[in-house]
Structure 1
Amino acid sequence: MNDLTDLLSTSADAVVLCDLHHRLIARAMAEELLDVAYTTVDTPVGELLLAATPAGLVRVAYASEGHDQVLDTLARKLSPRVLRAPARLDIVVRELDEYFTGQRRTFDVDLDLSLSHGFRQLVQRRLPEIEYGGTRSYGQVAELVGNPKAVRAVGTACATNPLPVVVPCHRVLRADGSLGGYIGGPEAKTTLLQLESA
């Protein structure tokens, strides 16, 4: 009997907590106190954390990066007002789903590039110019941004891209055609390239 009572009270507590969370989200949004909204989504490359500011999508993170650590970093760098609020990311989730099912080749969501600066941001702004299904070498991307000698800096910009998948750093390869590094790991990079070449 005690087990049943415990189970029922746990269920009621979960419903109450869920209701409180929804009310908190609504109030934070109404009073413009929600600086960073986040959610997670299951994809063919694993669970991705998505985070957005009012300006747009600010972070896409692989599970291997540690979602809690990513959220802590966002709280330090952007604002401590971080809350799981999936509704703000509905469009991003829909576009990612369309991308992974082969129905979308480019993303149309607003981006907040405030986590990158200088040359890194310049490179990340140009990466979407690499067409779906295509690839470029780090050297070709360096030429694209007007600094042909900055091959290593392009590699760093790709490695620190806060918006993988959406800003397609996975389309950048070594000069010999090998994968090079990728924040989501070689399997994720291979999966994305194979998806786009199908």
Structure 2
Amino acid sequence: MADSLALELAGEAVELFAERALFWPRARRLFIADLHLGKADAFRRSGIALPRGGTSHDLARLSALVERTRAESLWILGDVLHGRVTGGEWQRSWHAWRARHPLLAVGALAGNHDRALADAGLEIALLGETVEQPPFAFRHDPIPHAHLHVVCGHVHPVLALPGSARRWPAFWLRERMTVLPAFAAFTGGWAVELAAGERAVLCGPDAIAPVGRGLRG
């Protein structure tokens, strides 16, 4: 099976990747949502034992996507951070990643976890709550736009295949809205129930699988 899927959203060619990213070729821009840097560190500070290396793994996946698509910019659709910035291991991993991609322009839409982002020193441009670049409106929350196709994150959509109890991260393709799965591996998920005309694209370890019937975006 393929690990990416080319399709059209609002008349624009895009590519969805099993690694939970969307690429817009015309803009040479890669999109992810809900990176949640520092989440595992926050859990460890609370006394919950978690294995280390999650951030490094997520950033290695992101490097592979940047190199594969030859993206000139990366936009994170909110929740770059998980909480406060405390100088943890994830920051060292992020700075090493930034040094590996010095020419990549990185911007972020404001997410509900990003209160500390402005002072975090991560070399990320703050793009505000919504950026309109027709035919798209980019934001964190899945709030419809009057006339543009919304590309967003926030809800961490997951979906199970019929007959299976396992839930997979998924792109949720709704009427004039595409909700990206959480990019971070260490996140929960919200189980999507597809309404009539909606579809999803499931993200497996090495493959991507469309579910549902066609929908004009």
Question: TM class by shorter-chain length?
Answer: under 0.3
Task: Report which structure shows greater RCO (CA 8 Å, sep ≥6).
Answer: 2
Q: TM-score by structure 1 length? A: 0.25
For the pair shown, which has the larger CA radius of gyration, 1 or 2? 1
More helix by share: 1
More strand by share: 2
Q: TM-score by structure 2 length? A: 0.24
